[in-house]
Amino acid sequence: MSDPIAAVVDAVASTAPDVREGLVGRRTYEAGANPSGERQLEADVYADELLEARLLDIDAVTGYASEEREPVVRADGEGQYFVATDPLDGSSNLRSNNAMGTLFGVYDGTLPASGDDLLASGFVLYGPITTMVVARDGVVTESVIDGDGSRRVVTENLTLPDEPTVYGFGGRVPQWTDAFADYVSEVESELKLRYGGAMIADVNQVLTYGGIFGYPGLRERPEGKLRLLFEGHPIAHIVESAGGASSNGERSLLACTPEELHERTPLFVGHETYVDRLEAALSR
Ligand code: AHM
Ligand code: MG
């Protein structure tokens, strides 16, 4: 019997060599903007169109939603699965040739949905090596993607290490609330700063070395920067499946349902102790 989730994972992996190769020569901005009002790179549009075509080609997939387009795209057919993607998260790192990646979440039923409805999630990380991390049935697997799009598992059951080591928080410091700034001053005396400007890469540091990543609500933008459906849900699902925790500042991101497809959220993921302390600090 065919496995639709495995088909989605294979389809995303199959785009990786093409995306990697297509990044060269697509470092300039398009004239357009995404539904969040951010300028798009040619590379964002390129990755989005590749993912749309390969994912909607799967019989079981009936809907494709992406950070780079307004509505959910529907395929003809009888499929029941919806895939939400951030095709190139951290693409502003392309100009400076730093890491970025592709995020995806698979839902059984229409979008937007609660994070609790996720069947599987994952990301491709374009670092010096192309890797893929997938969370499914409470198990997180890390693979290397080869040049033909095939995968080799390198970590069978990825879990956060016992000791937290690194932290990274987005947003300009004067825009942080006093409560959040107080929390960060505690964290920075305990952990080492790692912030590269691409959530997938920064969270992969947390998965590897332990710690916490966050993009908080800001004074002039309490909803923060990152999108709940395209960034929050999949990254929370991965980190929670790896034994960590997630939060929007009050509760797990997986317990949150966006009212709008492109809704933003404050986002924190990492070791449970640091996420618990964050929630306590923000409630004071
Ligand atoms: P993007 O999806 O348009 O690339 O934006 C999301 C990215 C995240 O990967 C990253 O954590 C954040 O934006 C960085 O923002 P900033 O440049 O404000 O630090
Ligand atoms: Mg993004």
Q: Whose CA is nearest to atom 15 of ligand 1?
A: 197
> How many whole angstroms from 98 Cα to the centroid of ligand 1?
12
Question: How crowded is residue 2: how many other Cβ atoms within 10 Å of its Cβ?
Answer: 8
Fold adopted by 166-282: D-Maltodextrin-Binding Protein; domain 2 (3.40.190)
Give the confidence band of 163 by pLDDT, cuts at 50, 70, 90.
Answer: very high
- Name the CA dihedral angle for 259, 264, 270, 271, rounded to a multiple of 10 degrees: -60
Q: Taking the model in full, what pTM does it have?
A: 0.97
Other beta carbons within 10 Å of 79: 16
Query: In CATH, which of 3.20.20.70, 3.90.550.10, 3.30.540.10, 3.30.310.50 is domain 4-155?
Result: 3.30.540.10
pLDDT of 120 higher than 70: yes
* pLDDT at 284 exceeding the cut of 90: no
Is the per-residue pLDDT at 2 higher than 70?
A: yes
Domains 4-155 and 166-282 equal at CATH topology level: no
Residue 29: pLDDT band by 50, 70, 90 thresholds? Answer: confident
Cα–Cα–Cα angle for 8, 61, 147, rounded to 5 degrees: 25
Ligand 1 shell residues, CB under 6 Å: 38, 67, 86, 89-92, 170, 197-199, 215, 225-226
pLDDT confidence band for 253 (50 / 70 / 90): very high
Residue 30 has which token pair? 């398009």
Q: How far is the CA of 273 from the centre of ligand 2 (A)?
A: 26
Evaluate whether ipTM surpasses 0.90.
yes
Decide if pLDDT at 228 tops 60: yes
Distance 32 CA to ligand 1 centre (A): 18
Average pLDDT over residues 26-34: 86
Q: Cis before residue 112, ω within 30 degrees of 0?
A: yes
Q: Where are the domains of the chain?
A: 4-155, 166-282
What is residue 116's DSSP assignment? G
